[in-house]
């Protein structure tokens, strides 16, 4: 018993000494880096911009991983020589996120922190109606145009959320028309065969106070062959060029005196095999109402078309007789594929360019249709 007691007593003293030494070693192994994640874990109704941040005291961040509920990572940047991390873009609305952050102190010892939070669910939202459609093949003049359902008061935030990449690479810049339309284009017409990818990441973007975007789409389209047609209103002709070579010259009629056709570069934005044209819709009262205009292709929002004309008599190639449109000879019903209008319709796609010159009118406004090519690059990029 004495032996056991003595052995036990000796063990107790040794344990005390070991405990003190072990505690010191444990403290020495613990990192002094202190990681802080904002917002706090469990937070709800978090703003989609400016709220997420990771900071560290007495150390440097080495890893920050932020994921949404689907496991998609959110890109970000470590700044301040490792002192903080912020996301590179806004967050999506009504989404749960997880954050994992690691930092090291001056001795290389790591400290980690984890957090979860949920972003706000907006009461007011906006959408962007865009053209061209995903998967389409378009002409060399086609911009990527977005019309917003609400007026935008933070254009920088919205523009930042729309990323455009091309193959081959080309600089593509955006231009605002008012506060509800944003168009993107390169300096010159697209190169044929270019593949364009648009990441329309509006979900969670606060476009105006309390109004958030609610869509995230990827849109891809391809630039087709290079077709540009030049209408000479004085000579009453249209030369159709492909890859810079004239492939067809077509007699036309343009706007008569008092109704001259716009000059300038216009982009085909709509193709209609047959449509009704009523003068009342464009401010011309009851001057005309043609219920079956064949082979019609829209050039402006205000009502300028390149279209078939079966009532024009001998005007084509001889004199200007229209109310501002560019007319090509056709037959009623558009059944004859050999007519100039039918040929033009069947050889055109959305995004092709039609240039009008020598008309007795001003140059078409850049926002009257998809016609931003009538702005200089310097004005476009202001």
What is the secondary structure of 309-367 as a DSSP string?
Answer: ESS-TT-TTT---BSSSEEEE--TTS--TTSHHHHHHHT--TT-EEEEES-SSPBPPTT
**Active-site residue, from 90, 175, 236, 307:** 307
Q: Is 325 one of the annotated active-site residues of the chain?
A: yes
Q: Is 307 one of the annotated active-site residues of the chain?
A: yes
CA distance linking residue 55 with residue 87, whole number of Å: 12
| 3-state DSSP percent of the chain in helix, strand and coil, to 5 | 15, 45, 40
Contact by Cβ (8 Å): 253, 324: no
CA distance linking residue 335 with residue 323, whole number of Å: 24
**Active-site residue, from 295, 325, 347, 360:** 325
Parallel, antiparallel, or unpaired: how do β-strands 206-208 and 211-213 relate? antiparallel
CA distance linking residue 148 with residue 162, whole number of Å: 13
Cα-to-chain-centroid distance, residue 278: 34
Burial of 123 (0-12, 13-18, 19+ CB in 10 A): exposed
* CA-to-CA separations, 9 to 4, 17, 18, 22, 57, in angstroms, rounded: 8, 13, 14, 20, 45
Q: Tell me which residue of 214, 26, 260 sits closest to 122, measured CA to CA.
A: 214
> 213: part of which helix (H) or strand (E)?
strand 211-213
Alpha helices, DSSP H only, in the chain?
A: 2-29, 155-160, 340-346, 377-380
Q: Catalytic site residues?
A: 307, 325
């Amino acid at each position: 018993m004495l032996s056991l007691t003595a052995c036990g007593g000796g063990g107790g003293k040794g344990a005390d000494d070991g405990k003190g030494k072990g505690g010191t070693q444990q403290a020495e192994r613990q990192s002094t880096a202190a990681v802080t994640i904002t917002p706090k874990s469990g937070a709800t109704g978090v703003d989609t911009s400016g709220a997420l941040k990771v900071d560290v005291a007495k150390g440097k961040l080495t890893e920050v991983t932020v994921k949404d509920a689907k496991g998609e990572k959110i890109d970000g940047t470590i700044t301040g020589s490792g002192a903080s991390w912020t996301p590179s873009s806004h967050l999506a609305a009504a989404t749960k996120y997880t954050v994992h952050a690691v930092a090291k102190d001056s001795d290389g010892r790591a400290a980690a922190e984890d957090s979860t939070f949920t972003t706000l669910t907006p009461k007011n939202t906006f959408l962007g109606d865009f053209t061209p459609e995903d998967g389409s093949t378009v002409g060399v003049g086609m911009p990527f145009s977005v019309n917003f359902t609400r007026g935008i008061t933070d254009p920088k935030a919205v523009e930042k959320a729309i990323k455009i990449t091309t193959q081959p690479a080309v600089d593509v810049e955006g231009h605002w028309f008012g506060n509800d339309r944003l168009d993107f284009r390169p300096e010159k017409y697209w190169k044929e065969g270019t593949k364009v990818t648009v990441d329309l990441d509006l979900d969670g973007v606060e476009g105006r106070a309390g109004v958030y975007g609610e869509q995230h789409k990827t849109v891809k389209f391809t630039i087709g062959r290079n077709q540009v047609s030049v209408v000479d209103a004085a000579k009453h002709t249209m030369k159709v060029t492909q890859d810079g070579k004239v492939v067809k010259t077509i007699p036309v009629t343009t706007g008569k005196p008092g109704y001259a056709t716009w000059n300038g570069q216009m982009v085909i934005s709509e193709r209609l095999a047959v449509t009704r044209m009523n003068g009342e819709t464009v401010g011309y009262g009851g001057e005309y109402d043609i219920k079956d205009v064949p082979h019609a292709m829209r050039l402006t929002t205000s009502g300028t078309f390149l279209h078939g004309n079966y009532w024009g008599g001998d005007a084509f190639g001889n004199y200007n007789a229209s109310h501002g449109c560019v007319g090509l000879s056709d037959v009623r019903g558009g059944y004859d594929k050999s007519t100039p209008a039918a040929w033009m319709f069947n050889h055109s796609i959305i995004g092709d360019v039609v240039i009008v010159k020598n008309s007795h009118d001003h140059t078409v406004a850049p926002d009257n249709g998809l016609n931003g090519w009538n702005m200089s690059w310097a004005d476009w990029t202001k």
